[in-house]
Amino acid sequence: MNPLPFTACRRCGTCCDKGGPTFHVEDRMLIDAGLIPATNLVTLRKGERVNDAIRGCLISLETEMIKIKGRNRTWRCIYLDSTGPACLIYENRPLECRILKCWDTRDIEAVYARNRLIRKDLLSGIPALLDLIADHDQRCSHVVLRELLDSPSGGVDAIKAVQEMIAYDQSIRLLVVEKAGVTPDMLDFIFGRPLSETIRGRSMYAGLSESGNASRPGEKISERAIYETRTDPNSL
């Protein structure tokens, strides 16, 4: 690859447009001090499929990571002021933003997978919420979800299992908003992105037909079938 024809940040916003930074232990003070509120964070959970910008490919996360949210459900950093373009928190931008040099990625490569901040670090003072998160992680595991989605012979049992995971994911979000006073804009941080959102657009379920019924081995169904079969009173 040819080197880029510049050696200093031009503040063009291209990096910020592709996604906000992942938080590291060094950034904790920014959140603790309220300079970056938890309402502007999103957790990507273990097993979730994400685009790895450093390796340039899709990977399944081995551990969770916390990022700045994107704007309007895109990955464009919520703090990117596109009229500039400019960073709305430039003086308090996280570590990755401070060291990223798009013309020389060695610095970011050295820190990017190290000392990542996780929810447990930030919520240690609220053990009841951590218990709820642990339960949600277990019942709505991305690792299990992927195994179900990739199963060559999952059949109706697999589709029901996915439906149950999606239903639990939705119900626990509603519960903490209605009963615990959590604001909806905190949910992406507390429970990660909704499962229904993370599987959207995928073809899945070898062994099931478009209607969600078991069919010829290898035949695929779409995500639509999952939602269609949820209207079946016998399904959930």
Q: What whole-number distance in Å separates Cα of residue 85 and Cα of residue 71?
A: 14
Could you say which residues in the range 39-68 bind ligand SF4, by CB under 6 A? 68
Closest CA to 201 of 224, 218, 220, 219: 224
Can residue 226 be called a binding residue for ligand SF4 (CB under 6 A)? no
Can residue 21 be called a binding residue for ligand SF4 (CB under 6 A)? yes
Count, residues near ligand SF4 per rule CB under 6 A: 11
Can residue 87 be called a binding residue for ligand SF4 (CB under 6 A)? yes
Q: How far is the CB of 46 from ligand SF4 (least distance, A)?
A: 24
Can residue 97 be called a binding residue for ligand SF4 (CB under 6 A)? yes
Q: How far is the CB of 126 from ligand SF4 (least distance, A)?
A: 26
Q: What whole-number distance in Å separates Cα of residue 30 and Cα of residue 180?
A: 25
Interhelix angle 142-150/155-180, rounded to 10 degrees, is 150
Can residue 24 be called a binding residue for ligand SF4 (CB under 6 A)? no
* From candidates 75, 79, 189, 191, binder to ligand SF4 by CB under 6 A: 79
| Beta partners for residue 76, in sequence order | none
Q: What whole-number distance in Å separates Cα of residue 102 and Cα of residue 8?
A: 9
Can residue 77 be called a binding residue for ligand SF4 (CB under 6 A)? yes
Can residue 35 be called a binding residue for ligand SF4 (CB under 6 A)? no
Q: How far is the CB of 90 from ligand SF4 (least distance, A)?
A: 6
Contacts of 9 (CB under 8 A, 6+ apart): 101, 102
Q: What whole-number distance in Å separates Cα of residue 51 and Cα of residue 81?
A: 23
- Compute the C-alpha angle 193/227/159, nearest 5°: 90
Report the residue number, 10 or 120, with the smaller CB distance to ligand SF4: 10
Can residue 20 be called a binding residue for ligand SF4 (CB under 6 A)? yes
Q: Which two tokens stand for residue 8?
A: 């200093």
Report the residue number, 38 or 167, with the smaller CB distance to ligand SF4: 38
Site string for ligand SF4, 146-185 (x = CB under 6 A): ----------------------------------------
Could you say which residues in the range 205-224 bind ligand SF4, by CB under 6 A? none
Q: How far is the CB of 121 from ligand SF4 (least distance, A)?
A: 19
Residues 66-89 as b/e (b if ≥16 CB within 10 A, e otherwise) read bbbbbeeeebbbbbbeeeeeebeb
What is the SS3 assignment for 145?
helix
Residues in the site for ligand SF4, rule: CB under 6 A? Answer: 16, 20-21, 68, 77, 79-80, 87, 89, 93, 97
